Amino acid sequence: MSARAAEGAPPNPVTPRGEIVPTVPPAEKAADAVNVTALLERGRTLATPVLRAAVERLAPPMDTVAAYHFGWIDAAGNQAAGDGGKAVRPALAVMSAEAAGADPEVGVPGAVAVELVHNFSLLHDDLMDGDEQRRHRDTVWKVHGPAQAILVGDALFALANEVLLELGTVEAGRATRRLTTASRALIDGQAQDISYEHRERVTVDECLEMEGNKTGALLACACSIGAVLGGADDRTADALERYGYHLGLAFQAVDDLLGIWGDPESTGKQTWSDLRQRKKSLPVVAALAAGGPASEKLGAILAADAKTADLRPADFEDFSEEEFASRAALIEEAGGRTWTADEARRQHAIAVRALDEVRMPTRVREQFVALADFVVVRTR
Amino acid sequence: MSARAAEGAPPNPVTPRGEIVPTVPPAEKAADAVNVTALLERGRTLATPVLRAAVERLAPPMDTVAAYHFGWIDAAGNQAAGDGGKAVRPALAVMSAEAAGADPEVGVPGAVAVELVHNFSLLHDDLMDGDEQRRHRDTVWKVHGPAQAILVGDALFALANEVLLELGTVEAGRATRRLTTASRALIDGQAQDISYEHRERVTVDECLEMEGNKTGALLACACSIGAVLGGADDRTADALERYGYHLGLAFQAVDDLLGIWGDPESTGKQTWSDLRQRKKSLPVVAALAAGGPASEKLGAILAADAKTADLRPADFEDFSEEEFASRAALIEEAGGRTWTADEARRQHAIAVRALDEVRMPTRVREQFVALADFVVVRTR
């Protein structure tokens, strides 16, 4: 744990609907010219048709269940607008190809493979965690049952490898290997996440390791996979992965802030979502590690929870809004909110520095910087 | 459906503890000299240390859960004798390398990868199907909970690709592609299996397609993967896959016979296991398709089940042994048992013929023939 958290920085004013990490590092002003919305839209536009074609290969009823998960149809089977999320990963995979001097299209199979692995993990994690809602909709296991959630998750995972390997190139083999490493980390991270739920204390380092596995590894892969498909060497791919890994940690720190102080209308989650789910997220573990009266009071409350309550989120449903608000205030008072916002900025800075290790067109570098800026100032 | 089933062959004498498919085709007497037990033992001996080392890479508690699944430890965590099953797949993968003129060791990463995929599917299928016992022991989801069954299944699947791709060769990429195709088929087969449980009627062709996906595809991959790692061309690999696919169908036909008439002490399953689970296995669908009084009576009974009972195996627990025995007798009377035994022999013959398309050392060919013979006469 860094010295900053131990210092117990003064609490932020409570601004539950304000920006979470408002300060973009001033050294990167050049990136202001990049239109991040257009960048995300380009990734989505290039990847979605290929993703849909891949999903259509699944045997019924898995194709329908997957289409529901991706938001392409509703529970009744009717066409839907389709909120596929922020699409940060496809955008990165396409930019990654350009970083290696290849056309953006070269990154598309990588973008699709990464999206498939990401969604495989969402399907399984939602079931394991008992999460009933995602992106404002009932989760797959709620609508189609646990067996379909398992099965379609498996199918998407297999499809991810298939989409890459059917390219039949040496580069595709290298890309699949990196995707496999990321997938293993993702699964390790979920294993850690589950085991931490049953523990009273988790250190900040353990939490960062878990978040690096759950979020950093696949974002890292998104950042290297296009370059690998475009023929980049391992040194370049590794540097791009370092950018992506730390971007992932910044992304997750912001997610952890949004999980407590985010606006439910933006996030699509319940108020105090992570507190309801008893998540040992960064603000919580940083607050517990900080010491001082608020930290100790929080520790006593969570220890009492662990003794008196069962370990399922449902047991927290009886808690009032005021109870969660008072816990959130304690976390903030102990410095957990400030520490996490600082951590997001710190990881953002490490990510951007990793870009210096790669020779890439200036325009592409600016795009990577702009995307990193976007990730830390987002509100959903 | 073939004409043979429609003919309604006369029922076999009821020999529930006798051999299931006793007739080995006489043309293959040369294979008698091969010691199949030694062949299986060699595959197991070569593959197990590499498999164990791979599983040890999993983050806790997944390594322990996987070790329990493989039978290396008991539920309390103590060392166990470890009944890893018949080990037909590792034996085939090792022989497959020899078919391409390579050393048996060359097939080992393929053997391990195939075993990992097979066990990934067991972990997930047991949970989806609600099966509480496998190989005389409680299944993983019963002992360690559904989340660990999902998670460790995912981890084994990822590990399968990792074990191959870390070889870093072009051949490993080709092998992984074949494994991915087989994995997708496996998942399709499980999707079909689940959907058939909810249907009153399944055709013989649908059943064979499902069994080809669930059993044929991965056995096919086991038969080609060693050869591919040993540098075989696609024509050779495809022919070996045809052998394996039809061997898989023969294997499954025997499994379907054992699922009804097998000796529980050998199979490790309950008496009338597949009837308890309402499985639309080959003897059942063949009996239903055969026509005649016994077929019609069986059809009426199963239709009544579908109307009055829910669709979970638990609903059948109240049925008496006599009820199952009388259903089994009806299936046999309608010709379902004879048809399935004939089908096992027919698939065995197709498998052996596929070997003619591959130039391989005579000794290796004899081993493939002997293994095919073994598969159709086994009693567990």
Tens digits of residue pLDDT in B40-91? 999 999 999 999 999 999 999 999 999 999 999 999 999 997 766 789 999 9
Instruction: Kindly state whether A158 is in contact with chain B, defined as any CB-CB distance less than 8 angstroms.
Output: yes
- Can you give the residue ranges of every domain in chain B? 3-377
State the DSSP code for A84: -
Instruction: Kindly state whether B363 is in contact with chain A, defined as any CB-CB distance less than 8 angstroms.
Output: no
Q: Which of B255, B323, B325 is nearest to B283 (CA)?
A: B255
A190 interaction partners in chain B (CB closer than 8 Å): 151
Residues B205/B211/B213/B219 CA torsion (nearest 10 deg): -130
Q: Nearest CB to A59: which of B157, B172, B192?
A: B192
Say yes or no to pLDDT of B3 above 90. no
Alpha-carbon distance values, B353 to B103, B243, B342, B358 (Å): 24, 8, 17, 10
Say yes or no to pLDDT of A58 above 60. yes
**Beta strand pairing call for B137-138 and A137-138:** unpaired
Instruction: Kindly state whether A147 is in contact with chain B, defined as any CB-CB distance less than 8 angstroms.
Output: yes
Residue B194: closest CA among chain A residues belongs to which residue? A147
- Shortest distance between the Cα of B221 and any Cα of chain A, in A, equals 15
Do residues B128 and B118 touch, judged by C-beta distance below 8 A? no
Residue with tokens 């430890």: B73
Report chain B's mean pLDDT, rounded to a whole number: 89
Confidence of residue A150 (pLDDT cuts 50, 70, 90): very high
CA pair distance B142, B147, nearest whole angstrom? 11
**With an 8 Å Cβ cutoff, are A170 and B166 in contact?**
no
Mean pLDDT of A242-264: 95
**B25 or B291: which carries more pLDDT confidence?**
B291
Residue A161: closest CA among chain B residues belongs to which residue? B180
Instruction: Kindly state whether A64 is in contact with chain B, defined as any CB-CB distance less than 8 angstroms.
Output: no
Confidence of residue B4 (pLDDT cuts 50, 70, 90): very low
Residue B61: closest CA among chain A residues belongs to which residue? A191
Mean pLDDT of B283-292: 97
Kindly report the number of other CB atoms within 10 A of residue A354's CB atom.
20
Residue A136's pLDDT is 82
Residue with tokens 């360690």: B144
Q: Nearest CB to A128: which of B147, B166, B168?
A: B147
State the DSSP code for A79: B
Mean pLDDT of B181-188: 98
Arch. (CATH architecture) of A22-263+352-377:
Orthogonal Bundle (1.10)
ipTM score for this prediction: 0.90
Alpha-carbon distance values, A295 to A155, A160, A256, A329 (Å): 44, 44, 18, 11
**With an 8 Å Cβ cutoff, are B177 and A191 in contact?**
no
Residue B346's pLDDT is 97
Residue A200's pLDDT is 79
CATH top-level class of B3-377: mainly alpha
Question: CB under 8 Å to B292, separation ≥6 — which residues?
Answer: B8, B334, B335
Residue B81's pLDDT is 79
State the DSSP code for A134: E
Alpha-carbon distance values, B339 to A206, B15, B92, B160 (Å): 59, 16, 27, 36
**With an 8 Å Cβ cutoff, are A177 and B168 in contact?**
yes
Question: Between chain A and chain B, how many beta carbons pairs sit less than 8 Å apart?
Answer: 116
Say yes or no to pLDDT of B1 above 70. no
Say yes or no to pLDDT of A18 above 60. no
Q: Nearest CB to B159: which of A60, A165, A184?
A: A184
- Shortest distance between the Cα of A173 and any Cα of chain B, in A, equals 5
Which of B127, B164, B165 is the mutation pick for testing A, counting most A CBs within 10 A?
Answer: B165
- Shortest distance between the Cα of A315 and any Cα of chain B, in A, equals 19
Kindly report the number of other CB atoms within 10 A of residue B79's CB atom.
9
Mean pLDDT of A162-172: 97
CA pair distance A36, A17, nearest whole angstrom? 22
Contacts 24+ apart (CB under 8 A), B203-211: B203/B1, B203/B285, B203/B289, B204/B1, B204/B5, B204/B282, B204/B285, B204/B286, B204/B289, B205/B1, B206/B285, B207/B280, B207/B281, B207/B282, B207/B285, B208/B249, B208/B282, B211/B248, B211/B249, B211/B252, B211/B253, B211/B256, B211/B282
pLDDT in tens, A276-287: 888 889 999 999
**With an 8 Å Cβ cutoff, are B151 and A188 in contact?**
no
Instruction: Kindly state whether B122 is in contact with chain A, defined as any CB-CB distance less than 8 angstroms.
Output: no
In the beta sheet, which residues pair with residue A137? A134
Do residues B246 and B216 touch, judged by C-beta distance below 8 A? yes
Residue B186: closest CA among chain A residues belongs to which residue? A155
**With an 8 Å Cβ cutoff, are A151 and B194 in contact?**
yes
**With an 8 Å Cβ cutoff, are B188 and A59 in contact?**
yes
Q: Nearest CB to B59: which of A59, A181, A192?
A: A192
